[in-house]
Structure formats: structure tokens, C-alpha cells
Amino acid sequence: MKGNAIGSGFALTDHFGKSVTEADYKGQFALIFFGFTHCKLVCPRALTRISEALDLLGDQAANIKPLYVTVDPERDTPDVMRNFLETPWPRFTGLTGKREAIDQVRAAFKVFATKVADPSDPEGYDMPHTALTYLMDARFQYLAHYPDTMDAARLAQELCRETAQSRKGLK
């Protein structure tokens, strides 16, 4: 599967409130997942699975930076994202920003997200969204993506293989 047109640079805010761009993550692999902190099922499951895969990689994970980009910037402020991530999934850095900036990066990664009514929260809303995990190389170029159905062990294997190939300049 090729993804020549997948991904782009960005200008967002990390969950410490610092302005960041893709340049801040160059030199290491970036592992990107899009979601939102009110997500009840998909995001917690994916963040756990990705964290487990990185645990399995041991020292090799040191050069992989997991990023969690919100598709719901209206509710996901930097503080909300930090509180959401820092205890259960401390490897992740949350990224948020203005709606326009989020939509731009979302479109570049071809991420689907839409607001729908949430029967369990009449005041709020749900947001079905794409659950792919994207791997970007040290130049922040697309390397691969992985479906939500891939378990942690397999994801660890794939990350190991892709990052090794990338380092050897085979890709």
C-alpha cells in the first residue's frame, strides 16, 4: 500500500501548551493516532494497544514519538489532553489547535471524523473517526499505516521491521 500523498506539515499546540510543528519531531519516527478524549471505546483501546506495542519494542521505542491528534479541538484543550493522557498513556503527546489547523492536518492524513448525537450524553456529541495508526519517518514522510484490528504484538513486529528498513535507507 502506497501513501505518497499521505501526511503534511502542521502547526499545532502540544498538551503542555507549546506551539509545535512537524520539525519538532524530525529525527525520530512519529507514530500518529487521531481521536478525541471523549471517545469511549476506540481511542482508549488504540492508545493502550499502541502503548503495549511500544513496550514490546523495548529500547527501540526510544526513537518513536507517539502523537495523539485531536479531531475535537473545541473540547480538547491542551489541559484536557494532558489530563487524559498522562496517567494511562504517558508515552503520548497530545496535539490540538484551532479548528482550521486541525482540519488541515486531518485532511492531509485522510482522516474521517464527524459529529453525531450521543444518546448517552444528550448535551454532548460523539465523533466516529478513522482509527488508523500512521508511521512517519525521521523526515516526517509517510512510511506505513496500521489498522485498528492489528494487535499489539503484530504492531510491534511491523514497527520493528519498518523502522529498521527506513534506517537502512531501503525505503
Partner 1 sequence: MLTDKQAGHIRHMRNLMAQPDGDWSHMDSMEAGQEGLSSYRYQLGHIVYALGLAHFHHLPAAPCVFKEAMQAAIRKMLRREVWGYWFEASQSDKRIDPDLEGRREQWHDPVVKENIMYSGHLHAMAGMYGVLFNDDRYEQDGGLTIRHSPLFVGEEMEFKYDFSSINDIIYWQMVENGWLGVACEPNCIFLVCNQFPMLGFRFHDIRKGTTIAEEAAAGYRQAWQDRDVLDRPGTMPMMLMVRQNVLVPGGPATDSHTGAIMHAWNREFVREHRRSQVYQALKTADDGTVSLRPLAMLPGTAESYEEVDDAAALDELAVQWSTPDFGTVLMWLSELGDEETLSAMLAHADKHMNPTWEKGGLYYPRNDRSYDDEGNLTFVEPLTGNVLAGYARLNVPDGLWQLYNHPWGEAHFRQPNLSECPFEVDVLQARYDDEQGILSLTLRPVKDTVEEAKLVIVNPGGGSCRILRNGEPLNPVVGERIELDLAIDGPIDLQLVRDGKA
Summarize as ranges the residues that interact with partner 1 (CB under 8 A). 1-3, 5-6, 110-114, 116, 128-130, 132, 147-149
CB closer to partner 1, 27 vs 128 = 128
Min dist CB 94 to partner 1, Å, is 22
Rounded distance between C-alpha atoms, residue 50 and residue 89, angstroms: 9
Distance of alpha carbon 71 from alpha carbon 115, whole angstroms: 10
Measured from the CB atom, is 161 or 167 closer to partner 1? 161
Q: Which three cell numbers stand for residue 8?
A: 503534511
- Residue 51 or 130: which CB sits closer to partner 1? 130
| CB nearer to partner 1: pick between 86 and 148 | 148
The pairs formed by 120-128 with CB atoms below 8 angstroms and a separation of 24 or more are 124/38, 126/38, 127/36, 127/38, 127/39, 127/71, 127/72
| Backbone φ and ψ of 122, nearest 5° | -55, -25
| Residue nearer to partner 1 on the CB measure, 78 or 109 | 109
Question: What is the helix (H) or strand (E) element at residue 167, kind and residue range?
Answer: helix 152-167
Q: How far is the CB of 43 from partner 1 (least distance, A)?
A: 15
Count of alpha carbons within 13 Å of 82, Cβ hemisphere only?
Answer: 9
The least distance separating partner 1 from the CB of residue 130, rounded to whole angstroms, comes to 6
The least distance separating partner 1 from the CB of residue 25, rounded to whole angstroms, comes to: 22
CB of 69 vs partner 1, minimal distance in Å: 15
DSSP string, 45-70: HHHHHHHHHHHHHGGGGGGEEEEEEE
